[in-house]
Chain A
Amino acid sequence: DAKTTQPNSMESNEEEPVHLPCNHSTISGTDYIHWYRQLPSQGPEYVIHGLTSNVNNRMASLAIAEDRKSSTLILHRATLRDAAVYYCILRDVGFGNEKLTFGTGTRLTIIP
């Protein structure tokens, strides 16, 4: 499986934008980039995913580098409820390979 590298932790001020980076230099052409987050004492929650183009949804935006070797999850205006561990995951959509392999993620702390 292609690997991702994320900072162990980040801090951000409430109501400010947050940019969470992820490096995936060994990404293959069939790897989708997925982001999940996990709030304390809960199961992971899907945030967003993309392949080549930038993606937006109600929760966040995903900016993907042109060479696809890195991506950034953007929370436009952080709230205290965004404090969580954020996981960047590569998913190869080859047949029969449906598992998502989680790393240790980035622990995001929001400062009031």
Chain B
Amino acid sequence: GAGVSQTPSNKVTEKGKYVELRCDPISGHTALYWYRQSLGQGPEFLIYFQGTGAADDSGLPNDRFFAVRPEGSVSTLKIQRTERGDSAVYLCASSLIHEPTGFTTGELFFGEGSRLTVL
């Protein structure tokens, strides 16, 4: 389909393991976001990419979390030494950039998320 695709849809891992979550944004969307959502809470911002660079990583909780977008399209969120508190749904979103202003249009298209469970 033409929407944002996230894989895997579900991931169960053990405490201390390394995890990668992948996001395929909508073709042509320069802006890409990662959020995470715990049960009963709204999505929590993690990081924002404009093209290949992380323009805002202020939401990454600690240095165990890292994200890359090497070619400006697909992005990978990497979590090292996972902890039980990392269990959540990780959401990816993409958006167009309004070229005259350089800002996103404000219309984010979200994927269905990757549910991470750390045992």
Residues of A with Cβ closer than 8 Å to B? 32, 34, 36, 41-46, 49, 85, 87, 91, 93, 95-105
Interface residues on B, range: 20 to 34
A24→B33 CA distance, assembly (Å): 24
Also in contact, A42 and B112, with CB within 8 A (given A93-B103, A98-B55, A99-B33):
yes
Prevailing SS type, chain A contact patch: loop
Question: Which residue from chain B places its CB closest to the CB of A43 in the assembled complex?
Answer: B110
Question: Contact between B42 and A98 (Cβ–Cβ < 8 Å)?
Answer: no
Taken residue by residue from 70 to 109, chain B's Cβ proximity to chain A (1 for < 8 Å, 0 otherwise) reads as: 0000000000000000000001010000000111101111
Question: Which residue from chain A places its CB closest to the CB of B97 in the assembled complex?
Answer: A98
A96→B35 CA distance, assembly (Å): 17
Pick from A32, A44, A49, A104: contact of B110, CB below 8 A.
Answer: A44
Question: Contact between A102 and B42 (Cβ–Cβ < 8 Å)?
Answer: yes
Question: Contact between A102 and B56 (Cβ–Cβ < 8 Å)?
Answer: no
Question: Contact between B48 and A98 (Cβ–Cβ < 8 Å)?
Answer: yes
* Minimum C-beta distance from B19 to chain A (A): 19
Question: Contact between B91 and A99 (Cβ–Cβ < 8 Å)?
Answer: no
Question: Contact between A96 and B108 (Cβ–Cβ < 8 Å)?
Answer: no
* Minimum C-beta distance from B28 to chain A (A): 17
Question: Which residue from chain B places its CB closest to the CB of A102 in the assembled complex?
Answer: B42
Pick from A41, A43, A95, A101: contact of B93, CB below 8 A.
Answer: A43
Interface residue B44 (Cβ < 8 Å from any Cβ of A): yes
* Minimum C-beta distance from A52 to chain B (A): 15
Question: Which residue from chain A places its CB closest to the CB of B46 in the assembled complex?
Answer: A99
A/B interface sample: 20 pairs, CB < 8 A: A36-B108, A43-B93, A43-B110, A43-B113, A44-B108, A46-B108, A49-B106, A87-B42, A96-B56, A98-B31, A98-B48, A98-B50, A98-B56, A98-B103, A99-B56, A100-B45, A100-B106, A100-B108, A102-B45, A105-B42
